[in-house]
């Protein structure tokens, strides 16, 4: 009997170690095959270690991807599929073999470093509409993709990004969690519960249930890690506005960003946003579905519009929770406002317009002759693709001071000579 009692744990240890070694070998083999396939399309993949741990992590560490032809490279400290234990690895593989969705699984990325050029070299948006998630500089535009280096980011250091889920009741419900932390920017975590109503965890049953899935609730926790402070410092430098002036214009842009989604942010929401901008720390948003909220209520072109289907409350900087006063704008009003807003922001077209035997003419001005046009209404075309209309106030050593009308007021913004492509004025002359 004693030998049996001693033998069972020993056999278990042997089984666990053997499983770890076997799965590790298979993983390493698979990664090497992936590296060979990538090399055929011009991508080089190197890694330091591929291992299946006793804790159930299927991980690859020290990854370095590069595409020599485009001089693009990406390094990743770790990519891991998390299962919970070495025994769970077997269960997951068994589920997949029999075409079942594992009842719980996770995917993690750690230490992903990306060059800022992935953002700054993107095609420029001629409108740069303000966004809900990132503060603007108060000029009616979002931070442009080519401005992020000046904001203070030479690279994107993704500290952690993870996704995990748990299937409840054999397919009846799924709980999903996303976590994202970027060094010197922010940390965000989203938890949501979704009713699936699937009859089982089989892939076919889960797939067929997705069209009828409904959101039950979600919670978003956001912690600023320096992003807001860097944007605020950059915007104050660029606009030369006082902090209270910048805050007012940023709030206006944020309100407009919600209107672009077809929603009206009320006074409580605007006050909470200003509180956060003044001292960015944390935001917690809790939402409970009003009635049945399905994936069909989500629109790619206006993703935040789905907020109208939830009862929302928010807590800013750990203060008391406040019910959010957000409402949906009437469709005709929302469409009319959006059309007028975008039309007002659309860059001046490169064409001549004829009106009653008069023709609008562009008169281009050499940068060396700009001093002759101080206090005149001019158009500046930037190398990033924007056309800015305003009044030239003064010329500096490195930039010009340009007064731009915003709403019922104006701001004075510097434009560096190196960013200027062309300058012109409009004049009317009879045919």
pLDDT per residue rounded down to tens, the chain (431 residues)? 544 445 455 555 555 667 778 888 888 899 999 999 999 988 999 999 999 998 999 999 999 988 887 677 888 999 999 999 888 998 999 999 999 999 999 999 999 987 776 655 444 445 567 888 889 888 777 887 778 888 888 888 999 999 999 999 999 999 999 999 999 999 999 999 999 999 999 999 999 999 889 999 999 999 999 999 999 888 888 877 788 888 888 998 999 999 988 999 999 999 999 999 999 899 999 999 998 888 778 777 777 878 889 999 999 999 999 999 999 999 888 888 888 887 776 655 433 333 333 445 678 888 888 988 998 889 998 887 778 888 899 998 888 988 877 544 567 778 888 888 889 988 755 44
Structure tokens at 291: 């009635």
Q: pTM of this prediction?
A: 0.74
Three-state DSSP class for residue 409: strand
State the CB neighbour count (10 A cutoff) for residue 426. 14
What span, in angstroms and rounded, lies between the C-alpha atoms of 281 and 212?
A: 38
pLDDT of residue 128: 67
Residue where the block lists tokens 């980011």: 153
Enclosing H/E stretch for 149: helix 148-151
Within 240-354, residue ranges assigned H as helices are: 243-260, 267-278, 331-345
The rounded distance, in Å, linking the Cα atoms of 231 and 234 is 5
Q: What is the fold of 350-430?
A: SH3 type barrels. (2.30.30)
Q: How many CB atoms lie within 10 A of CB 355?
A: 8
Q: Are 304 and 286 in contact (CB under 8 A)?
A: no
Dihedral over Cα of 87, 93, 99, 102: its sign = positive
Contact 139, 239 (CB under 8 A): yes
Q: How far is CA 332 from CA 263, 297, 326, 328, 377, in A?
A: 12, 19, 18, 11, 35
The residue extents of the domains of the chain are 99-335, 350-430
Residue 174 token pair: 């799924």
For residue 393, give the nearest of 416, 369, 379, 377 by alpha carbon. Answer: 377
Residues 46, 36 contacting (CB under 8 angstroms)? no
Query: 3-state DSSP call for residue 131?
Result: coil
Distance CA 233, CA 294 (A): 41
């Amino acid at each position: 009997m004693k030998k049996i009692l001693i033998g069972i744990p020993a056999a278990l240890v042997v089984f666990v170690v053997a499983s770890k070694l076997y799965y590790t070998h298979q993983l390493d083999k698979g990664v090497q095959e992936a590296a060979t396939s990538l090399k055929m399309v011009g991508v080089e993949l190197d890694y330091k270690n591929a291992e299946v741990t006793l804790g159930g992590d299927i991980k690859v560490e020290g990854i370095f991807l590069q595409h020599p032809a485009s001089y693009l490279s990406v390094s990743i400290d770790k990519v891991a599929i998390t299962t919970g234990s070495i025994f769970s690895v077997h269960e997951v593989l068994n589920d997949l073999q029999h075409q079942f969705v594992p009842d719980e699984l996770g995917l993690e990325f750690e230490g992903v470093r990306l060059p800022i050029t992935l953002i700054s070299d993107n095609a420029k948006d001629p409108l740069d509409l303000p966004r809900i998630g990132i503060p603007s500089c108060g000029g009616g535009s979002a931070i442009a993709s080519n401005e992020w280096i000046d904001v203070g980011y030479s690279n994107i250091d993704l500290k952690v990004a993870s996704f995990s889920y748990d299937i409840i009741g054999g397919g009846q419900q799924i709980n999903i969690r996303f976590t994202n932390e970027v060094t010197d920017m922010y940390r965000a975590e989203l938890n949501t519960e979704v009713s699936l109503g699937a009859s089982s965890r089989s892939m076919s049953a889960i797939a067929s249930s997705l069209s009828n899935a409904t959101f039950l609730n979600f919670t978003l926790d956001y912690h600023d890690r320096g992003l807001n402070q860097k944007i605020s410092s950059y915007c104050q430098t660029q606009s030369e506005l006082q902090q209270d002036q910048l805050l007012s214009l940023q709030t206006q842009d944020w309100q407009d960003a919600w209107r672009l989604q077809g929603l009206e942010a009320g006074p409580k929401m605007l006050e909470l946003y200003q509180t956060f901008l003044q001292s960015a720390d944390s935001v917690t948003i809790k939402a409970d579905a009003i009635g049945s909220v399905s994936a069909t209520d989500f629109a790619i072109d206006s993703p935040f519009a789905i907020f109208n289907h939830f009862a929302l409350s928010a807590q800013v900087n750990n203060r008391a929770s406040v019910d959010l006063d957000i409402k949906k704008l009437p469709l005709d009003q929302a469409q009319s406002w959006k059309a007028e807003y975008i039309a007002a922001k659309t860059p001046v077209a490169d064409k001549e317009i004829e009106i009653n035997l008069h023709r609008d003419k562009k008169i281009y001005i050499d940068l060396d002759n700009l001093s002759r046009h101080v206090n005149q209404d001019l158009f500046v075309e930037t190398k990033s693709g924007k056309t800015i209309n305003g009044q030239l106030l003064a010329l500096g050593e490195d930039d010009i001071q340009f007064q731009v009308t915003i709403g019922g007021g104006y701001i004075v913004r510097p434009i560096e000579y190196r960013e200027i492509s062309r300058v012109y004025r409009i004049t009317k002359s009879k045919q």
